[in-house]
Amino acid sequence: MSHDGKDISGSELDVMRHSAAHVLAKAVQRLYPGSKLGIGPVIENGFYYDIDVPSKLGEDDLPRIEAAMREIIAAEEPFKREEWSKQQALEHYSSRDDNPYKREIIEALSEDESISVYWTGSDWVDLCRGPHIPNSAGLGAFKLTTVAGAYWRGDEHRPMLQRIYGTAWQTQEQLEHYLEQVEDAKRRDHRRIGKELDLFTFSDLVGPGLPLWLPKGATIRRELERWVTDLELERGYQHVITPDVAKVEMYKVSGHWDHYKDVMFPVMEDGEEQLVLRPMNCPHHIQVYRHEKRSYRELPMRIAEFGTMWRYEKSGELSGLSRTRRMDLNDAHIFCTPDQIQDEIVGVVELIEHVYSVLGIADHWYRLSLWDPSDKEKYVDNPEMWDRGEQYLKDAMARLSLDYVVAPGEAAFYGPKIDIQLRDPLGHSETISTIQVDFHLPSQFQLEYVGEDGQFHRPVMIHRGVIGTLVRMIAYLIEKYAGAFPLWLAPVQAVIVPIADRHVDYALSVASELRRSGFRVDVDRRREKMQAKIRDAQAQQVPYMLVVGDRDQQAGTVSVRERRQGDLGAQPLAEFVHSMQERRAAYR
């Protein structure tokens, strides 16, 4: 670590983090004799070490381990590299330190390979490639964060070790900033908020990765879907509905079978017939295009659907709504002539920008995702086609004066794409919206249209998703708003709180009035104190609470509380309905 106040580079930070892992391992072995070390790599923002500790560790044990680490740091122990022969290393891990995990690692190395170890002080050594910081005193600010079980080599048939996670930074300030960010991300975690606000759930009997949308979550989905569908209809898209299953044969023609079969659900077989749940909607929309002979007069033809796709992701990789086995994609395929490509891309970018501005997504950037010519497995091998696609995307972005970053190896198997990148609360980037240019699938399915010249021509396909999959977009929005959805998306837009039982009838009439105007409202009739009802509605992030008592009932008013501004005083009901209508309309 540098002491001159300059920032150290990412790789220097990694060296420091990995050195912290060694200090952690030394501390654990000192505190828990008999502990056997597994591996201790660097990860994003920190490090971990997998250790077979004789006693079960909990988060309560971490401060004690941290204290032992600080002692090692205070002792200013040098890190020293040494080369051992394979024989020497095996001997060490059989006699001085009986460790089957390290022996397994060493056994896998070739005979003539020289093996490096690192000493920390003169009494503790670990097998390691390095590099390391010169001295334990050079460790910056660190904190142990969690401890979890981890199978040796990730194999559930092998022993379970204890994985101790830590984070390390150059300065205390950076550490604190990071810890705050983690706290904020926890507060916004869509899995937690989804449970608190009753948006979605999972069931063991349904299976992992298959969310069940509860009424409130389903409301958010429906509102997003209606809104985007209307925007698409205004822009000349035609919505279709196509099945979730198809013959395997179709995906063989499209190439999806080759590229997706590992993540597709198992094939349903009955005699000759082989059906499978679709991993993508594209080939289905191609069949819609092929349903009739097409003329240039019909192009561009924009076929859209909230299409359901299925991926048989490994259960260990499933997480909340971010990784699921069912996804409903705001999908569309634009079939057009080469001359129309640029205008269509521009139209899609404008639609995405409109949608993002309504949702309040300011922090996004464009990425041009290209193929990797050396990866023949992943990509269709047709360099000329890739160059052509890339040029169309670049020209469109130049016309829109968009800045973008280039990412080789991130294209779809059939063509290059523009990805619109967003950040989650921990700063990781993710892709939700994409625009792809495809010459490949039209040729696989022999698509044609009759041109102005009376001859057959091949159309180009643009694949695009504006809000992407509903699962990921909603996960993103839950975290972005921390559950406080804007009025138009809020599952319950107002809760009416009668002060006493004698105000219930009036409360119900207020509710019907609001429902007639298309609002989603609840009447809280529980035998709770008014304050408790307000507190609960507030916790549910309901935009408006309407308290009604004697005076409101006589005057035809409601006493309005807004979730952030608090008490706004009494308003005539008609006036309140009108102001809600204006606010709701404003999002378009």
Q: Which stretch binds Zn ion (CB under 5 A): 95-103, 392-400, 461-469, 524-532?
A: 461-469
Cβ at position 116, least distance to Zn ion in Å: 9
Question: Minimum distance between the CB of residue 327 and Zn ion, rounded to whole angstroms?
Answer: 13
Q: Does 163 bind Zn ion (CB under 5 A)?
A: no
DSSP-derived secondary structure for 234-265: HTTEEE----SEEEHHHHHHHSHHHHHGGGSP
Is 417 one of the binding residues for Zn ion (CB under 5 A)?
no
Q: Least distance to Zn ion from the beta carbon of 560, Å?
A: 47
Least distance in Å: CB of 33 to Zn ion?
Answer: 22
Burial 94-130 (b: 16+ CB within 10 A, else e): eeeeebebbeebbeeeeeeeebebbbbbeebbbbbee
C-alpha 65/C-alpha 508 separation (Å) is 59
Residue 117 or 490: the one with the smaller Cβ distance to Zn ion is: 117
Site string for Zn ion, 531-560 (x = CB under 5 A): ------------------------------
Instruction: Tell me the closest approach of the beta carbon of residue 132 to Zn ion, in angstroms.
Output: 6
In the complex with Zn ion, the residue whose CB is nearer, 282 or 495, is: 282
In the bound state with Zn ion, the residue whose beta carbon lies nearer, of 49 and 386, is 49
When asked if residue 282 is in the footprint of Zn ion (CB under 5 A), the reply is yes
C-alpha–C-alpha distance, residues 160 and 182, integer Å: 27
CB-wise, 128 or 496, nearer to Zn ion?
128
Of 44-52, 74-82, 275-283, 421-429: span binding Zn ion (CB under 5 A): 275-283
Residue 108 in tokens: 């896998």
Round to whole Å and give the CA distance between 579 and 560: 12
Backbone region of residue 148 per phi and psi (left: phi > 0; alpha: psi in -120 to 50; beta: other values): beta
Q: How many residues bind Zn ion (CB under 5 A)?
A: 3
Cα angle 573-533-485, degrees, rounded to a multiple of 5: 70
Nearer to Zn ion, 390 or 438 (CB): 438
Sign of the CA dihedral running 429, 434, 438, 444? positive
Give the integer Cα–Cα distance in Å for 211 and 202.
Answer: 5
Cβ-based nearer residue to Zn ion, 254 or 557 = 254
Whole-number Å distance between alpha carbons of 311 and 393: 28
CB closer to Zn ion, 282 vs 537? 282
Q: Which residues contact 544 (CB under 8 A, 6 or more apart)?
A: 493, 494, 495, 560, 561, 562, 563, 580
Q: Which of residues 101-130 bind Zn ion (CB under 5 A)?
A: 128
Q: Which residue has the tokens 């005539």?
A: 572
CB of 200 to Zn ion, least distance (A): 26
> Which helix or strand (DSSP H or E) is residue 64 part of?
helix 62-74
State the nearest-atom distance from the C-beta of 203 to Zn ion, in Å: 31
C-beta atoms surrounding 20 within 10 Å: 26
Mark the segment that binds Zn ion (CB under 5 A) among 152-160, 277-285, 294-302, 526-534: 277-285
Residue 141 host element (H or E): strand 141-151
Strand positions, DSSP E, 409-476: 417-423, 429-438, 449-450, 456-457, 460-469
- The verdict on whether omega for the bond into residue 63 sits within 30 degrees of 0, i.e. cis, is no
Q: How far is the CB of 42 from Zn ion (least distance, A)?
A: 9
Nearer to Zn ion, 132 or 294 (CB): 132
The 61-100 contact track toward Zn ion, x by CB under 5 A, reads: ----------------------------------------
| Among 160-168, 255-263, 278-286, 374-382, the segment contacting Zn ion (CB under 5 A) | 278-286
The span from the CA of 235 to the CA of 242, in Å, is 21
Tell me how far, at minimum, the Cβ of 348 lies from Zn ion, in Å: 13
Q: Is residue 463 a contact point for Zn ion (CB under 5 A)?
A: yes
CB nearer Zn ion, residue 463 or residue 533 = 463
Site for Zn ion, residues 298 to 327, rule: CB under 5 A? none
Smallest gap from Cβ 432 to Zn ion, in A, equals: 15
Nearer to Zn ion, 216 or 285 (CB): 285
Binding mask 430-459 for Zn ion (x = CB under 5 A): ------------------------------
Neighbours of 505 (CB within 10 A): 11
Q: Return the number of the residue (121 or 486) whose C-beta is nearest Zn ion.
A: 121
CB nearer to Zn ion: pick between 468 and 498 = 468
Report the distance separating Cα 226 and Cα 588, nearest Å: 12
Which sign does the torsion angle of CA 142, 148, 149, 151 carry?
A: negative
Shortest Å, Cβ 280 to Zn ion? 6
- The answer to whether 366 and 402 have CB atoms below 8 angstroms apart is yes
Stretch that binds Zn ion, among 189-197, 290-298, 463-471, 575-583 (CB under 5 A): 463-471
* Interacting span for Zn ion (CB under 5 A) from 205-213, 309-317, 462-470, 486-494: 462-470
Report which residue type is found at 269.
E
For the CB of residue 73, give the shortest distance to Zn ion in the complex, in Å. 16
Note whether 348 binds Zn ion by CB under 5 A.
no
Q: Please, which residues have CB within 8 angstroms of residue 155's CB and are 6 or more apart in sequence? A: none
Tokens 């057959």 belong to which residue?
456
What is the smallest separation between the CB atom of 120 and Zn ion, expressed in angstroms? 9
Bridge partners of 418, per DSSP, are 368, 435
Compute the least distance from the CB of residue 416 to Zn ion, in Å: 14
Of 183-191, 242-250, 296-304, 460-468, the segment contacting Zn ion by CB under 5 A is: 460-468
Q: Which stretch binds Zn ion (CB under 5 A): 175-183, 239-247, 282-290, 504-512?
A: 282-290
Q: In the complex, which residues of this chain contact Zn ion (CB under 5 A)? A: 128, 282, 463
